[in-house]
């Protein structure tokens, strides 16, 4: 199956540069090699059918057929040895701890600004900064309850944080469903004794939700708030709600009376204590944020301010995963924890700084440029892959609005053997582990490995032709 596979000049997750297998991947390689190619392809098709019949699909917007597609799945797992996982775990725990302290500070005294670590203008211009919430205490002082940080590896194999998704990170259902599909269709590939289980994810989230309930007595009522069944992640919302055994609600199911949130049931109103919301700040309350929101709950922010309901994640966390603030995270870690960052960030140039702007404009063909207020792989320039007109166009945009842009050197992501039409080839991958911050930060041993299925592509987003893999964290 893997004869003639070439690691090339990239860091390969399974092979050393000389083509021999990495020791922790040896058992897996042996099992893959034992598979017959036709059998492998037939079983890959079975996986796809599994996703289709399970309805593990996302809606394709702007498609009049209302068609649903599956997120392409590659059966070759990505393996992370125990010692590397320990390193990631401590690095991510350090990072989320610092980001939470940062958010608490930003929404209270703003000591970090007074001490001149971050220029005030970067906070005030951050699109997701919510000055309305300064001075408000949130339950247990936790802001980012669920964080989906994107990690990548450079050509030497060093782990880097690419971005922290601290608002409504998605994809956890794929982490769980990929594992299920693989176990079901490739049981002979799966090594139960050495791969750590990820099944506890929904329960860990539920535990966290219950931890932040403002009413400590009794059985807190937790719900998941979705934008609706036309959202591309609706499958995931339903899936998680079901796994946790909580209600999935839309904005119209909730009402606020005297600063308390209730849901409308067939027997009248029932009080809600904790809301795992998958709706952006912008839409959550038409009274406070976007007036035209039809998805939100009028008055819910008053209930939140009054401390009668907890939201996960808190309002205003977007300031911590802002692409410009990202450049300051190493300083944030040093400032609040007096520690050196365990996980490195990608060097970042801020167009808002004069020196950096000059550098960016001089080196556009080598850089990745990102708009600070976009996500999902939109509003991006991949310098090395862009044509002259695109570069010229971005140059104009950056000059017109420098505060909205950052640039980073291209990191040639690590590769993992992936089944392509012509056989097994190396494709670039990233990793999104999910950090759950309740009583303490906890990370489910695994994550969503996204893979850029297009040859040579470095963009792994599902909206841009990405697929995913099961991620194995080994016990030893």
Q: Which stretch binds other proteins (CB under 8 A): 178-186, 202-210, 248-256, 412-420?
A: 248-256
In angstroms, give the least distance from the CB of 31 to other proteins.
Answer: 29
**Residue 143 Cβ vs other proteins, minimum distance, rounded to whole Å:** 15
Task: Report the residue from 48, 253, 390, 425 that binds other proteins according to the rule CB under 8 A.
Answer: 253
- Site for other proteins contains 23 (CB under 8 A): no
Options 91, 251, 445, 446; binder of other proteins; rule CB under 8 A: 251
Between 47 and 357, CB nearer to other proteins: 47
CB of 176 to other proteins, least distance (A): 14
Q: How many residues bind other proteins (CB under 8 A)?
A: 51
Residue 242 within binding range of other proteins, rule CB under 8 A? yes
Non-local (6+) Cβ contacts of 450 within 8 A are 429, 430, 431, 432, 460, 461, 462, 466, 467, 468, 469
Residue 212 CA to residue 414 CA, distance in Å, equals: 38
Contact set for other proteins, span 285-304 (CB under 8 A): 292-295
Q: Which of 234, 326, 328, 437 binds other proteins (CB under 8 A)?
A: 234
Considering only residues 50 through 89, tell me which ones interact with other proteins, judged by CB under 8 A. Answer: 52-55, 61
Rule CB under 8 A: which of 359-378 touch other proteins?
A: 375-376
**Judged by CB under 8 A, does residue 264 bind other proteins?**
yes
Site residues (CB under 8 A) for other proteins, limited to 194-233: 227-233
We find the least distance from the C-beta atom of residue 235 to other proteins, in angstroms, to be 8
Sign of the dihedral defined by the CA atoms of residues 45, 47, 53, 55, in that order? negative
Answer whether 388's CB lies under 8 Å from 414's CB. no
In the complex with other proteins, which residue's Cβ is closer, 9 or 60?
A: 60
How near is the Cβ of 341 to other proteins at its closest, in Å? Answer: 22
Closest separation in Å from C-beta 417 to other proteins: 28
Q: Closest separation between CB of residue 243 and other proteins, Å?
A: 9
Tell me which stretch binds other proteins (CB under 8 A): 21-29, 277-285, 336-344, 434-442: 277-285
The reply to whether 186 sits near other proteins by the rule CB under 8 A is: no
- Determine if 168 is a binding residue for other proteins (CB under 8 A): yes
266 or 476, CB closer to other proteins?
266
Closest CA to 441 of 160, 178, 10, 143: 143
Which of 460, 419, 468 has the alpha carbon at shortest distance from 181? 468
Site for other proteins in 374-403 (CB under 8 A): 375-376
- Determine, following the binding rule CB under 8 A, whether residue 184 of this chain makes contact with other proteins: no
Binds other proteins by CB under 8 A, chosen from 161, 209, 249, 351: 249
Q: Establish if 250 lies at the interface with other proteins (CB under 8 A).
A: yes
93 binds other proteins (CB under 8 A): no
Q: Which of 280, 331, 390, 425 binds other proteins (CB under 8 A)?
A: 280
SS (H, E, C) the chain: CCCCCCCCCCCECCECCCCCECHHHHHHHHHHHCCCHHHHHHHHHHHHHHHHHHCCEEECCCCCCCCEEECCEEEEEEEECHHHHHHHHHHHHHHHHHHHHHHHHHCCCCHHHHCCCCCHHHHHHCCCCCHHHCCCCCHHHCCCCEEEEEEEECCCCCEEEEEEECCCCCCHHHHHHHHHHHHHHCCCCCCCCCECCCCCHHHHHHHHHHHCCCCCCCCCCEEEECCCCCCCCHHHHHHHHHHHCCEEECHHHEEEECCEEEEEECCEEEECCEEEECCCHHHHCCCCCCCCCCCCCCCHHHHHHCCCCEEECCCCHHHCCCCCHHHHHHHHHHHHHCCCCCCEECCCEECCCHHHHHHHHHCHHHEEEEECCCCCCCCEEEHHHCCHHHHHHHHHHHHHCHHHEEEEECCCCCEEEEEECCEEEEEEEEEECEEEECCCEEECCCCEEEEECCCCCCCCCHHHCEEEEEEEEECC
* Window of 151-159, 265-273, 327-335, 386-394 that interacts with other proteins by CB under 8 A: 265-273
Positions 310 through 329 that interact with other proteins (CB under 8 A)? 321
| Closest to other proteins by CB, 41 or 52 | 52
Rg (CA), the chain: 23
Structure-token pair, residue 276: 């795992």
Let me know: does 361 contact 392? Beta carbons within 8 Å: no
Range 33-52, binding other proteins (CB under 8 A): 52
Q: Does 170 bind other proteins (CB under 8 A)?
A: yes
Smallest distance, Å, CB 422 to other proteins? Answer: 28
- Pick 182 or 279: Cβ nearer other proteins: 279
Q: If binding is defined by CB under 8 A, does position 263 make contact with other proteins?
A: yes
Q: Which residues bind other proteins (CB under 8 A)?
A: 52-55, 61, 148, 165, 167-170, 227-236, 238-239, 241-242, 247-253, 255, 263-266, 268-269, 278-280, 282-283, 292-295, 321, 375-376
């Amino acid at each position: 199956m893997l004869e003639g596979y070439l690691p090339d000049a990239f860091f390969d997750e399974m092979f050393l540069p000389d083509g021999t297998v990495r020791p922790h991947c040896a058992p897996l390689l042996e099992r893959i090699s034992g598979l017959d190619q036709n059998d492998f392809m037939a079983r890959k098709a079975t996986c796809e059918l599994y996703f289709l019949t399970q309805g593990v699909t996302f809606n394709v917007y702007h498609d009049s057929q209302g068609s649903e597609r599956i997120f392409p799945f590659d059966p070759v797992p990505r393996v992370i040895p125990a010692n590397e996982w320990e390193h990631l775990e401590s690095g991510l725990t350090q990072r989320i701890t610092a980001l939470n302290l940062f958010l608490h500070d930003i929404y209270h005294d703003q000591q970090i600004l007074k001490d001149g670590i971050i220029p005030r203008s970067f906070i005030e211009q951050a699109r997701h900064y919510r000055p309305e919430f300064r001075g408000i205490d949130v339950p247990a002082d936790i802001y980012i309850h669920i964080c989906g940080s994107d990690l990548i590896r450079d050509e030497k194999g060093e782990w880097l944080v690419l971005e922290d998704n601290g608002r409504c990170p998605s994809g956890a259902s794929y982490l769980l469903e990929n594992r299920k599909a693989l176990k079901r269709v490739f049981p002979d590939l799966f090594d139960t004794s050495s791969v750590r289980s990820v099944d506890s994810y929904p329960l860990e989230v539920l535990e966290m939700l219950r931890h932040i309930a403002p009413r400590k007595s009794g059985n807190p009522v937790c719900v998941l708030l979705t934008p609706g069944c036309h959202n591309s992640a609706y499958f995931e919302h339903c899936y998680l709600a079901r796994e946790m055994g909580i209600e999935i609600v839309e904005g119209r199911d909730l009402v606020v009376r005297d600063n308390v949130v209730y849901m409308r049931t067939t027997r009248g109103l029932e009080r809600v204590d904790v809301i795992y919301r998958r709706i952006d700040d912008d839409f959550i309350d038409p009274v406070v944020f976007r007036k035209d929101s039809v998805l939100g709950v009028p008055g819910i922010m008053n209930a939140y301010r009054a401390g009668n309901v907890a939201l996960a994640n808190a309002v205003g966390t977007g300031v911590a995963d802002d692409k410009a603030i990202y450049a300051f995270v190493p300083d944030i870690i040093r400032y609040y924890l007096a520690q050196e960052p365990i996980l490195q960030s990608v060097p970042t140039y801020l167009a808002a700084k004069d020196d950096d702007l000059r550098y960016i404009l001089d080196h556009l063909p080598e850089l990745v440029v990102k708009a600070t207020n976009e996500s999902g792989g939109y509003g991006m320039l991949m310098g090395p892959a862009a044509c002259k007109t695109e570069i010229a166009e971005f140059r104009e945009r950056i000059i017109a609005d420098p505060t909205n842009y950052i640039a980073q050197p291209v990191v040639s992501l690590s590769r993992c053997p992936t089944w392509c039409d012509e056989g097994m080839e190396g494709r670039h991958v990233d990793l999104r582990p999910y950090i759950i911050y309740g009583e303490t930060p906890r990370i489910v041993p695994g994550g969503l490995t996204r893979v850029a299925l297009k040859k040579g592509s470095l963009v792994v987003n599902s909206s841009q032709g990405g697929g995913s893999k099961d991620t194995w964290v080994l016990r030893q």
